[in-house]
């Protein structure tokens, strides 16, 4: 706070009366601010003649400040300070930032309790959902090279209705042009319904999923238990369909689940398909699914935020669907016949679904 006040005073109107004692770090902040605020080079130099430093100013620091844009008179004054402080001790290096020490991993009993609570949450997830309508935006990309040089194919805007535990999709825009089309007539790589079924199948006892503790994580400011999991093909219900050969297979799969430490809610799922038959056209499938807190009619629910589905066909050809769930609102009888304002929201920033750095340590 003292440094901030100092910079405000110095940069608002450079004082010229009393001599000012500054640390080298304060001097650097002052010069940086004077450059940013385009202070007069002559006045900055005049002020520096009245500065007394508390430690040695070295040549490297002067060169750095010159490189930042300090004017010639300012640089001359800095060199004078460098000469005047040559016999002084160097400033102590700043203290290292406190290293993040994660909390200890939960015991096996605690892990079992977390998974038990997460299972109860997952198996009852869809039964707790409200009736709602939201805008589902799917941005589809392709890459014929297999190098993840993505080319956007189209943007599909749909109205997703969830009523009486059933989903209904209505395509309303394709590349910002109004259309009337069923979801299953879109062609190309499409997906629907993952937000409840994948979670349920992972935790379904019949899947005999193997869970292992991985680490602590942070998503959207909330601490997460992160578990890895694996479902064998003989217990899997995860299907992959190939339009090319009109064939559907059942694949094994593995991934990560993120369980909120406070609520036991599942907030993120990743999934990668395994044991795909060698002759099947689709060679890889990967899914990432994020949930977030959503307010509908003054009640908070945890609903899908974004799903990213990537797949590889043959040796190279890649597909990528980025599906966002936006503009949630309550479903009503009127909403099925009342015109809905159609718009395609901007894409969510990458930070919205990226795992965050751990929180700073709490000062004692």
Domain total of the chain:
2
Same domain, 184 and 125: yes
Q: Where is pLDDT greater, at 238 or 191?
A: 238
Same domain, 222 and 338: yes
Alpha helices in 173-223 (DSSP H): 194-203
Same domain, 58 and 118: no
Q: How much is the pTM?
A: 0.72
3 state DSSP class of 148: coil
Same domain, 139 and 63: no
Residue 13 neighbours by CB under 8 Å, 6+ apart: none
**What is the DSSP annotation of 153-177?**
EEEEEEEEEEETTEEEEEEEEETTE
Cα distance between residue 309 and residue 198, in whole Å:
13
* Strongest mean pLDDT among 26-30, 111-115, 196-200, 275-279: 111-115
Residue 236 lies in a domain: yes
Q: How confident is the model at residue 220 (pLDDT cuts 50, 70, 90)?
A: very high
For residue 169, the model assigns a pLDDT of 86
Using only C-alpha atoms, the chain has a radius of gyration, in whole angstroms, of: 29
For residue 6, the model assigns a pLDDT of 40
* Strongest mean pLDDT among 174-178, 227-231, 314-318: 227-231
Residue 359 lies in a domain: no
Same domain, 80 and 117: no
Same domain, 58 and 164: no
The rounded percent of the chain whose pLDDT value lies above 70 is 87
Same domain, 174 and 322: yes
Identify whether the C-beta of residue 324 lies closer than 8 Å to the C-beta of residue 288.
no
Same domain, 156 and 238: yes
Question: Could you say which of 34, 50, 84 is where a domain stops?
Answer: 84
Residue 212 lies in a domain: yes
Same domain, 113 and 157: yes
Question: Could you say which of 84, 119, 134 is where a domain stops?
Answer: 84
For residue 188, the model assigns a pLDDT of 65
Q: Which domain holds residue 216?
A: 108-352
Same domain, 51 and 157: no
Residue 304 neighbours by CB distance under 10 Å: 20
Residue 360 lies in a domain: no
Q: Any idea what DSSP says for residue 338? A: S
Residue 113 lies in a domain: yes
Give me the mean pLDDT over the 189-211 stretch: 85
Over 60: is that where the pLDDT of 1 sits? no
Same domain, 218 and 173: yes
Residue 92 lies in a domain: no
Average of per-residue pLDDT values in the chain: 86
For residue 5, the model assigns a pLDDT of 35
Give me the mean pLDDT over the 85-96 stretch: 84
Same domain, 80 and 112: no
- Tallying the residues shown for the chain, one arrives at 364
Over 60: is that where the pLDDT of 4 sits? no
The domain that contains 204 carries what CATH number? 2.50.20
Identify whether the C-beta of residue 229 lies closer than 8 Å to the C-beta of residue 252.
no
Residue 80 lies in a domain: yes
Residue 237 lies in a domain: yes
CA angle (241, 243, 249) in 5-degree steps: 25
């Amino acid at each position: 706070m003292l440094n901030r006040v100092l910079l405000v005073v110095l940069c608002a109107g450079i004082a010229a009366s009393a001599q000012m004692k500054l640390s080298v770090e304060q001097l650097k902040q002052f010069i940086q601010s004077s450059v940013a605020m385009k202070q007069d080079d002559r006045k900055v130099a005049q002020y520096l003649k009245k500065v007394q430093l508390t430690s040695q100013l070295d040549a490297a620091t002067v060169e750095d400040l010159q490189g930042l844009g300090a004017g010639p008179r300012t640089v001359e004054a800095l060199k004078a300070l460098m000469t005047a402080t040559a016999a002084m001790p160097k400033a102590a290096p700043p203290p290292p930032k406190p290293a993040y020490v994660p909390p200890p991993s939960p015991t096996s009993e605690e892990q079992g309790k977390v998974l038990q609570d997460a299972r109860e949450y997952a198996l009852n997830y869809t039964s707790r959902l409200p009736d709602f309508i939201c805008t589902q935006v799917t941005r589809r990309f392709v890459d014929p090279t297999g190098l993840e040089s993505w080319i956007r194919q189209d943007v599909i805007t749909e109205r997703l209705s969830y009523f009486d535990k059933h989903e209904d999709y209505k395509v309303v825009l394709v590349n910002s042009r109004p259309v009337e089309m069923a979801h299953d007539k879109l062609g190309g790589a499409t997906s629907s319904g993952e937000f409840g079924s994948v979670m349920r199948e992972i935790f379904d006892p019949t899947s005999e999923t193997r869970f292992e503790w991985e680490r602590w994580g942070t998503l959207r400011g909330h601490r997460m238990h992160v578990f890895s999991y694996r479902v064998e093909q003989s217990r899997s219900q995860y299907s992959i369909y190939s339009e090319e050969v009109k064939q559907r297979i059942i694949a094994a799969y593995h991934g990560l689940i993120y369980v909120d430490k406070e609520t036991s809610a599942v907030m993120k799922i990743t999934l990668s398909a395994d044991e795909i038959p060698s002759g099947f056209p689709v060679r890889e499938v990967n899914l990432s699914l994020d949930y977030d807190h959503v307010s509908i009619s003054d009640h908070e629910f945890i609903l899908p935020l974004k799903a990213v589905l990537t797949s590889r066909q043959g040796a190279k050809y890649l597909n990528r669907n980025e599906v966002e769930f936006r503009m949630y609102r309550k479903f009503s009888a009127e909403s099925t016949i009342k015109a809905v304002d159609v718009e395609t929201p901007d894409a969510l920033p990458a930070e919205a679904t990226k795992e965050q750095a751990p929180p700073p340590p709490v000062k004692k």
